[in-house]
Structure 1
């Protein structure tokens, strides 16, 4: 008896809650009449639970927080978007009177600019028509079934690819260490075996690593991975996992092969000369290096001692000549624009070093490359941030 009373109270309260909720929706008030009466609910309480009462889409009732994320970027959704994009591209090509089969993304952008001129709309207000692969985030595959259940056991960590890779990498470390221990027990461990040579290369950057994982990770997670893959590559018998290690390592091109000296040219007097250009920040420099032992150096038709009053800037200018032992053996005619004195000195240093390639041997070119004389400085002035005094400087904070 007590159990039936409890069920009747729960049913009555459920109906009251449903009435108060539907009363707030003007379009859904008609649904109240569709609900069964209290006595009907009491009779059907043991057969059909009250929570199973559903509302059709035709009534206009919608969920307050519809599920998003999982159903948004499924393979079926992206496939449908690609079909619509291809159809729209053909229509746009027909409007512009061009061949739909050879209608590229550049043609699409040009057509949008033509159909929506800047005099009528702002550039930011123009529509965007790009391939869905460039708009929707890329993913390896669907990671959940139609019911929303994830396939991978690490799905709810938020970084399933990262943690799976860390687990596999650590397993490879243990496997190589066990192999080395077995060789030690049998007396077959060789001290002449060396780890994999990773010279002339670098590990994948954080952005490249995120693109590989199709996930976003923190700097700390990226550091942990570098430490673990570095531990694996430092083992004596790491060559067992050479293919796995090199998949996260990029080989850099030798810059000496790119820095080929230009062939010497001759002026009207038969004097050999070479020219080169250099940049540093916003400064651009051009240098003509003549094979005359006068040692005269002019910058924008001004002697370099007057142009650069600072000793540090003059040292930057003369360092390439001093490095190859050619001080006083050449005459330099320099032209520089933009930037300040420090940037101009850096641009001239790079241009002089490149011009010297026409006079030095291959071994000296390699020495210059290793010394960093042939590498441009990519650093730029960091911009000021809003809400603070400078690029990194903050305003003084006072609690009171």
Structure 2
């Protein structure tokens, strides 16, 4: 009953309020059209100014003054920490700071990011993009509305370099000169930047398709005969890698009392260890733990793995091999012998063939290990059979 009365009273209250407002409006002095228009325009302009101010302010940023202040506080804290530890503040490194923090504030928190730390502000505050708009909210870059202005600007610059090289080549051809392909860049020993490294430079997220398009454009530029005129630009997106072949140590050949050359090497895989001696001018005889390899490895797959280094170098039935292996299972021992025999064969071949062996993976130890069994499971990956009851 109370709900029904309240429902009927609501329209009556609205009607009374409307009549009261009309009476108040008649009592006041009416405004002319010009004053009303001026008020509306002023209000609209003020609202637009507030909105423009909000747009121009942009996202929250760490200013240079803020970073400078944080660096000063970090240096002061480092000096105090060095004095507390009784060390010289001038030679107090970041490793010393981490060690002192761990000593003064021991913590058993599992997540290392939640533990007490004292890092340089450049390591804590992320690298930020440059200001993308002016004080009036207008974009500073002509590619702002693409959504990826830094990426498309980089693509634009790279294509400009490509056109410059092409124009240079056309000028040489117009003079009747031939293009010298020796000016092409030698990119051996380096690689292109990966997507994460490129994102760190651009301070922007890239899709796989964007990254692929950029690398294709760089490769097209690097494949041009006269790309060396833009060498500095290309090398900005290359990162040097250490060639493993330069670290490969080749043992010199040794000779026994009969004057036969031989080489000895060791190989490991998992828990198996193999020692191999390869003799030159042999007939292909292979002995493993004083037993013929056919009887020691009855499975064909293991024997094929054993003979692969000789087959790769086309040296089947040209060497004799004596092996001593222990530990591990059947396939593990075969892998250890294969690695040891490949290392021993390096003494009989040229450096070019050694490089081919390295690229084929014959000189690299297999790092794989048996995966541990997980609790609550039948094995490392296998689960127990599910039963409804």
TM-score of the alignment, normalized to the shorter chain, above 0.5 = yes
What displacement does 1:177 show? 2.8
Q: Which residue of structure 2 lines up, in the alignment, with residue 112 of structure 1?
A: 101
Deviation at 1:86, TM superposition (A): 2.0
CA-CA distance at 1:206 after TM superposition: 2.0
Q: Specify which of 147, 153, 162 is matched with residue 164 of structure 1.
A: 153
Which one of 74, 77, 89 corresponds to residue 63 of structure 2? 74
Which residue does 2:264 correspond to in 1?
Answer: 274
1:287 to 266, 274, 294: 274
1:131 to partner: Cα distance: 1.8
Structure that is richer in helix per residue: 2
Q: Answer yes or no: is 1:200 the counterpart of 2:188.
A: yes
> Following the alignment from structure 2 to structure 1, what is the Cα–Cα distance between the partners of residues 337 and 245?
20
User: Of 269, 287, 309, which aligns to 1:296?
Assistant: 287
Offset, 1:220: 0.9
Match of 1:84?
Answer: 73
How many angstroms does 1:137 deviate by? 1.9
The equivalent of 1:31 in structure 2 is none
Distance 1:350 1:219 in 2: 37
Larger gyration radius, structure 1 or structure 2? 2
Asked if structure 2 preserves the Cα contact closer than 8 Å seen for 1:284 and 1:347, the reply is no
Q: Provide closer, same or farther for how the CA distance between residues 278 and 129 of structure 1 changes in structure 2, counting only shifts above 3 A.
A: farther
Secondary structure at 2:286 match in 1: coil
Q: What's the TM-score once normalised by structure 1's chain length? A: 0.62
Task: For 1:1-400, list aligned pairs within 5 A.
Answer: 70-118=59-107, 121-122=109-110, 124=112, 125-139=114-128, 151-155=140-144, 157-184=146-173, 186=174, 188-190=176-178, 193=181, 196-198=184-186, 200-201=188-189, 202-250=191-239, 252-262=241-251, 274-278=264-268, 283=270, 285-291=272-278, 295-298=286-289, 310-324=299-313, 325=315, 328-335=319-326, 345-346=334-335, 348-375=337-364
Q: 1:373 to 1:122 in 2, by over 3 A?
A: closer
Gaps of 5+ in 1: 1-11, 13-38, 54-64, 383-400
Provide the TM-score with structure 2 as the length reference.
0.64
CA distance in 2 between counterparts of 1:167 and 1:381 reads: 50
Residue 253 of structure 1 deviates from its aligned partner by 4.4
Distance 1:67 1:122, change over 3 A: farther
Separation of aligned partners in 2, 1:261 and 1:138: 46
Q: 1:315 to 1:155 in 2, by over 3 A?
A: same
2:272–2:332 Cα contact (<8 Å) kept: no
* Aligned partners of 1:70 and 1:148 also within 8 Å: no
Structure 2 regions of 5+ residues with no counterpart? Answer: 1-20, 22-30, 48-53, 372-389
Distance 2:353 2:345 in 1: 10
Q: 1:145 to 1:348 in 2, by over 3 A?
A: farther
Aligned residues: 321
User: How far apart, in 1, do the equivalents of 2:301 and 2:115 lie?
Assistant: 51
- Does the CA contact (< 8 Å) of 2:185 and 2:231 recur in 1? no
Q: Distance in 1 between matches of 2:206 and 2:369?
A: 27
User: Residues 14-51 of structure 1: CA distance to partner in whole angstroms, max 9, x if unpaired?
Assistant: xxxxxxxxxxxxxxxxxxxxxxxxx9xx9x96998599
The RMSD of aligned alpha carbons is 4.5
Cα displacement (A) at 1:229: 1.4
For residues 190 and 295 of structure 1, the distance between their equivalents in structure 2, rounded to whole angstroms, comes to: 57
Assess, with a 3 A threshold, how the Cα gap between structure 1 residues 123 and 354 changes in structure 2: closer, same or farther.
same
Quote the offset at 1:166 in angstroms.
0.5
Cα distance in structure 2, aligned partners of 1:94 and 1:146: 46
> Structure 1's 358 and 245: CA in aligned 2 closer, same or farther, altered over 3 A?
same
The secondary structure found in structure 2 opposite 1:81 is: helix
Q: Residues 229-276 of structure 1: CA distance to partner in whole angstroms, max 9, x if unpaired? A: 122222333333233223323454443321122456899xx9965333
Distance 2:90 2:129 in 1: 29
